[in-house]
Amino acid sequence: MQSKLLLLGNNCIHTFNYFQLVKDYFDEILLLTDKSGGACEGLPLKVLDYSPNPYKMLKACRETKRIIKTYKPTIIHGQQINKALFFAVWANKSFKIPMVATAWGSDVLVIPKQNIVYRKIVNYVLRNVPYLTSDSKYMAEQMEQIAGRKLDIAIANFGINLPKLTICKQDVVYSNRLHEKLYRIDAIIIAFSRFLKNNPHWKLVIAGTGSETENLKQLVKTLSVENNVKFVGWLNQEQNFYYYSIAKYWVSIPESDATAISLFEAMAMESIPVVSDLPANREWIVCGENGFIVDDTDADFLSKIVGVNVETFVPKNKEIVLKNATKKANKAKFLAVYDKILNKQ
């Protein structure tokens, strides 16, 4: 019997990477996504519009049911617990295809706390999808809290490829999270401007884009640190890893986060992580042993960190990456979930 995966996910690099991670396990994969082109261009996909319009949502829900009926998937897997997965769970009631749901972060850690309707959506998915995955123990605990019961949750992330790049460290601090208020790139810039007073030769490289990009550039001008701060925009994988390879420190201090793949990338490239004090970060970073945890993002935290002996940090981080963060290691974890499902049929 042919094995088929119906994969639901936003058209973004994470969904594309997951498709590539598991494609050899199935005879066929069809992606249901929110738009054409983008990172998933070239993959076998169908586009459904789940925008907040009652007519469009009803149409998308009916189309989801039709696709399940005609495609006849062996497994349905939703990447991110959102409206698309909610309607897929509802549509699948008629077919009872085994389902998997992967939580990404804000879908569990942020939005349900801001919106009671969305919390009910997440609760419904968690209580009706028997197989779940999370990239951190902390997020798994939050999933159980929302569901109000114990859940079967595998801990797995999308993993990284270990690049073959020469490590050539410079006096560089690297930031590559999205330019949204959640990620507090402005706090990084302010801390760096204070750090510069006694370390005028250092550089801050800011990758990524977002709704706050222009405000961040204006902040750099206001603080008169244009000569030391470089905005490099959205980078491909090779460019991104180049900056990891030259950066002595990688800084990521969002208000809320699950386990960021960029954390593992920095660790693999010998860039010392400087992260916000969040439960998911504490699963991987012990402050002063393999990275630094910032408990006050308004403080001059870079000045306190730079100069600390970090010689032992690198081997510890590489060991963590090899055991927990490679694509090979995490592919095995996801495939184990599929094996568990198929062995029960």
What's the pLDDT tens digit per position in 287-340?
999 999 999 999 999 999 988 999 999 999 999 999 999 999 999 999 999 999
Residue 330: both structure tokens together: 């995490």
| Rg of the chain over all Cα atoms, to the nearest angstrom | 21
Q: Residue 227 and residue 237: Cα distance in Å, rounded?
A: 26
Does residue 345 register a pLDDT over 70? Answer: no
Buried b / exposed e along 112-141 (16+ C-beta atoms within 10 A): beeeeebeebbbbbbeebebbbbbbebbbe
Which uninterrupted H or E stretch holds 172? Answer: strand 170-175
Contact indicator for 288, 308 with CB cutoff of 8 Å: yes
Query: Whole-prediction pTM value?
Result: 0.82
Q: Residue 337 and residue 340: Cα distance in Å, rounded?
A: 5
Higher pLDDT, 251 or 166: 251
Does residue 57 register a pLDDT over 90? Answer: no
Sign of the torsion formed by the C-alpha atoms of 156, 162, 167 and 171: negative
> In this predicted structure, what is the pLDDT of residue 110?
86
Q: Give the closest residue to 283 by CA, choosing from 134, 113, 181.
A: 134
Backbone angles phi, psi at 294, to 5 degrees: -95, 115
> In this predicted structure, what is the pLDDT of residue 2?
86
Scanning the structure block, which residue is given the tokens 């690049």? 163
Contact indicator for 248, 173 with CB cutoff of 8 Å: yes
> In this predicted structure, what is the pLDDT of residue 164?
82
Residue 157: both structure tokens together: 């992330």
> In this predicted structure, what is the pLDDT of residue 114?
86
Q: Residue 264 and residue 6: Cα distance in Å, rounded?
A: 28
Q: What is the mean pLDDT of residues 253-262?
A: 92
Contact indicator for 73, 88 with CB cutoff of 8 Å: no
Q: Residue 97 and residue 64: Cα distance in Å, rounded?
A: 13
Work out the percent of the chain whose per-residue pLDDT is above 90. 84
Query: What would the pLDDT profile of 82-115 be if each residue is shown by its tens digit?
Result: 989 999 999 999 999 999 999 998 899 888 888 8
> In this predicted structure, what is the pLDDT of residue 344?
64
Q: What is the mean pLDDT of residues 281-286?
A: 96
- Beta-bridged to residue 29, according to DSSP, are 5
Work out the percent of the chain whose per-residue pLDDT is above 70. 99
Query: What would the pLDDT profile of 2-39 be if each residue is shown by its tens digit?
Result: 899 999 999 998 999 999 999 999 999 999 999 999 89
Q: What is the mean pLDDT of residues 197-203?
A: 96
